[in-house]
Amino acid sequence: AQSVAQPEDQVNVAEGNPLTVKCTYSVSGNPYLFWYVQYPNRGLQFLLKYITGDNLVKGSYGFEAEFNKSQTSFHLKKPSALVSDSALYFCAVGGDKIIFGKGTRLHILP
Amino acid sequence: NAGVTQTPKFQVLKTGQSMTLQCAQDMNHEYMSWYRQDPGMGLRLIHYSVGAGITDQGEVPNGYNVSRSTTEDFPLRLLSAAPSQTSVYFCASSTLRGAEAFFGQGTRLTVV
């Protein structure tokens, strides 16, 4: 069975500082990994994905994620946080069916 | 392009009532899914489909039925609503395996 874990319910970061949102996964075979963002009262929006190739994946709004096969991790990163990055972030894994983590609320402090 | 359209946006049901949540996409996507979002639980997969005529169960399928008679539509049926089904429901679609999923705006369902 495939699954993802997001160990932090909330992450607080000061504006301008780098941010990391953690995700670990469990899947047999090569994983398809995703990050999505949800703003209040909205559906989810795609940020980036890893299927194969370079371990550092670049996505929307300046976000990137690092795939680490040995640690089964896919952490989301951004070099300099903005207040507008405050939202709920979901890591997901899968192919035919996509399984989501419980989400991490990112709070950027002005 | 409207993308993924869910109707209704809000619904209140009484325990035991049945209803259908509608989901339609105009992007000719093969893959469609239904999720429910509950506080602290993230998104949980209810049912999914990899093409017309093909459906399969997700993580929490009990109490829900789906069918996929056309590529465009993927309705979710609640057979006999229970308070535990109070949630926000999201429909999503994607072109193929491993592709970006597009989400609808959600249906907020309350069962009293």
Which of A44, A45, A102 has its CB closest to that of B40?
A: A102
The chain-wide mean pLDDT, for chain A, equals 94
- The pLDDT tens digits for A14-49 are 999 999 999 999 988 888 999 999 998 788 999 999
- The pLDDT tens digits for B24-42 are 999 999 999 999 999 888 9
Determine how β-strand A73-78 pairs with β-strand A19-21: antiparallel
Q: Can you tell me the distance from the alpha carbon of A15 to that of A110, in angstroms, rounded to the nearest whole number?
A: 5
The chain-wide mean pLDDT, for chain B, equals 95
pLDDT-derived band of residue B1, with 50, 70 and 90 as boundaries?
low
C-alpha A62 chain-centroid distance: 13
B contact test, residue of A25, A27, A44, A91 with most B CBs within 10 A = A44
CA distance A28 to chain B (A): 15
Please report how many Cα atoms fall inside a 13 Å half-sphere around the Cα of residue B92, on the Cβ side.
Answer: 31
- Please judge whether B105 and A102 are an interchain contact, meaning their C-beta atoms are less than 8 angstroms apart: no
- The pLDDT tens digits for B99-111 are 899 999 999 999 9
- Please judge whether B98 and A103 are an interchain contact, meaning their C-beta atoms are less than 8 angstroms apart: no
**Residue A62, φ and ψ in degrees, nearest 5:** 85, 5
Contact residues on chain B for A37, CB-CB shorter than 8 A: none
Residue A29, pLDDT score: 80
- The pLDDT tens digits for B54-97 are 999 999 999 999 999 999 999 999 999 999 999 999 999 999 88
Residue A28, pLDDT score: 84
